[in-house]
Amino acid sequence: MLLPILLFLFFLKEFSTTQQCQSRRYDNDGTVCVCNSTYCDTIPRPQKVKPPQLLLYTSNKSGLRFHQTSTTFTSSKTKKQIVIDGSRQFQTILGWGGAFTDSTGININSLPKGAQTNLLKSYFSEDGIEYNLCRVPMGGSDFSVRAYTYDDGPPDPSLLNFELKEEDFLYKIPYIQKASNLTDDLWLFATPWAAPKWMKTNNDFVKLGFIRKPMFQSWANYFVKFLDEYRKRGIKFWGVTTGNEPTNGWLLFGDLEVVAWPAWLIGEWIENNLGPTIRSSNHSDIKIMVLDDQRAYLPWYVVKALTNNVSRGYVDGIAVHWYIDEYLPPVVLSTTHKIFPDKFLLSTEASITDDGAAVKLGSWKRGEKYSVDIIQNLQNWVSGWVDWNMVLDLQGGPTYIDNYLDSPIIVNVKAGEFYKQPTFYHLGHFSKFIPRGSVRIYSKLCLKNVKHVAFRRPDNGTVIIILNRNKKIVPLTLNDSSRGTAHVELSEESITTIVYW
């Protein structure tokens, strides 16, 4: 009697819990999925299928989300082929995620409790898109309601007055803890925007100010203090970057908090201060990433920063942002990989504002932009892709310097709802199906407006993601010499993830 009951419960769990997207259309080119305290769409993990079966998950502009179908490897002979070769392998995946900004926490906090849970599950749980690598601003950023650091009093080189702020306790730590509880292994990395004014040559959070030489060691100690304070609250970090967008110091407009670093000077600081301080601390195995800025500075900034073998030895990875990717070919990433084959490349920030609009509810085009960028990065040795704010409000904030942007999840506080944008699902077509430790494998297809990338998962499954930007159905033959060929059809304006074992 027990066995049938257990089996029944198992099937109940497997088949009855998938909730469909509650689609809503605004005035843009696509749809959002609406969630509230009692309802939110889910997507279960793919269940292993046996050869010759393969699973297909499709989302399309007209509103389909992670729609599962299956087919088999039987001979197919359409003219267009996507060729997969699992014996040719490239980089290993570190993870996928977004940032626990103050604004993200403020927006989650503004929802009713049930909706908060549904939101965190959407990003982190087994029934969501399974984020596992997230960024945490070390102090404030432009997505805060004020400018601050952890030591804003009078000059304090020994950091005796260093302390976490209200924002950490209300908007970051609680949600990081809840997210950690929902995932197997959430990796976090921290990034500072501003340094305390008294450490800087211009005595200001913004514009062209460097860390004063006598403060080099204090600024390195500041990183370790932050890691210590979070560890006391049970939060362990996987990595740090040397600072957000060090070249913003040279921007003549805007009020972005920044520590400006010329390449040669940051190399010196890593060699003499940050590197030895981190490695001799209780966080000695933490990953150190340099750059954390636009692709335009590759490879020269990193080459200059790491000319010295000592600074090079301290650095594990190179962090890149997406903001001018549309204008610069991604091949600079591969060039950088060739120069530094032992350093991983990680995409650490992306977000959209275009056509004069921050939030555009339902924009499929913005989802496509995310996918195009992710695929280009992955095809050029990048090991993961981390979005910017995970949650913003209807205006694209809060941001105390009015730097409004879009986000994959938008909250509508009045309605007690949140909206999962096409960018959420586009990112999910990667993050859900490509677990940490997956390795990119060779894939080839030459077809206008179709992009693709393929992986071998740690469980030996093969994953292929194909973006079809054509306004028509595209029939294809999938050709994996270890399996044979299969016929697949890409829905118009769609993204498809194919999985088989």
For the annotated catalytic residues, the residue numbers are: 245, 349
In the chain, the N- to C-terminal Cα span, in Å, equals 34
Does 412 bind ligand NAG (CB under 6 A)? Our answer is: no
Name the residue nearer to ligand NAG (CB basis): 244 or 363. 363
Does 281 bind ligand NAG (CB under 6 A)? Our answer is: yes
Place of tokens 């304006």: 493
Among 16, 87, 158, 460, binds ligand NAG (CB under 6 A): 460
* CA nearest neighbour of 37 among 390, 410, 418, 424: 418
CB 308 within 8 A of CB 280: no
R_g of the chain, CA atoms, integer Å: 23
Helix axes 102-109, 173-182, angle to 10 degrees: 80
CB 267 within 8 A of CB 306: yes
* CA nearest neighbour of 413 among 401, 399, 395, 387: 395
Distance (Å, rounded) from C-alpha 390 to C-alpha 124? 11
Rounded to the nearest whole angstrom, what is the least distance from the CB of residue 181 to ligand NAG in the complex? 4
Name the residue nearer to ligand NAG (CB basis): 38 or 153. 38
Among 156, 157, 178, 487, binds ligand NAG (CB under 6 A): 178
Cis bond before residue 196 (omega within 30° of 0):
no
Size of the site for ligand NAG (CB under 6 A): 24
The contact pattern for ligand NAG, residues 27-46, with x = CB under 6 A and - = no contact, is: ---------x-xx-------
Among 282, 395, 449, 482, binds ligand NAG (CB under 6 A): 282
Name the residue nearer to ligand NAG (CB basis): 308 or 334. 308
Does 60 bind ligand NAG (CB under 6 A)? Our answer is: yes
Among 22, 23, 68, 272, binds ligand NAG (CB under 6 A): 22
User: Widest CA span of the chain, in angstroms?
Assistant: 76
Rounded to the nearest whole angstrom, what is the least distance from the CB of residue 80 to ligand NAG in the complex? 11
CB 279 within 8 A of CB 311: no
Among 4, 47, 309, 342, binds ligand NAG (CB under 6 A): 309
Q: Which stretch binds ligand NAG (CB under 6 A): 247-255, 382-390, 423-431, 487-495?
A: 487-495
> Which tokens go with 195?
């340094």
Name the residue nearer to ligand NAG (CB basis): 184 or 402. 184
Among 376, 491, 496, 497, binds ligand NAG (CB under 6 A): 491
Place of tokens 């605004």: 26
The contact pattern for ligand NAG, residues 73-102, with x = CB under 6 A and - = no contact, is: ----------x-------------------
Name the residue nearer to ligand NAG (CB basis): 158 or 460. 460
Does 177 bind ligand NAG (CB under 6 A)? Our answer is: yes
Does 284 bind ligand NAG (CB under 6 A)? Our answer is: no
Among 204, 229, 268, 492, binds ligand NAG (CB under 6 A): 492
Rounded to the nearest whole angstrom, what is the least distance from the CB of residue 349 to ligand NAG in the complex? 26
Helix spans in 138-215 (H): 166-167, 173-182
> Which tokens go with 159?
């950091």
Side by side, the strands of the sheet bearing 53-60 are 67-72, 53-60, 494-500, 462-468, 450-456, 439-444, 81-92, 474-480, 484-490
CB 456 within 8 A of CB 403: no
Distance (Å, rounded) from C-alpha 149 to C-alpha 162? 9
Positions touching ligand NAG (CB under 6 A) are: 22, 36, 38-39, 60-62, 64, 83, 177-178, 181, 281-282, 308-309, 459-460, 479, 481, 485, 491-493
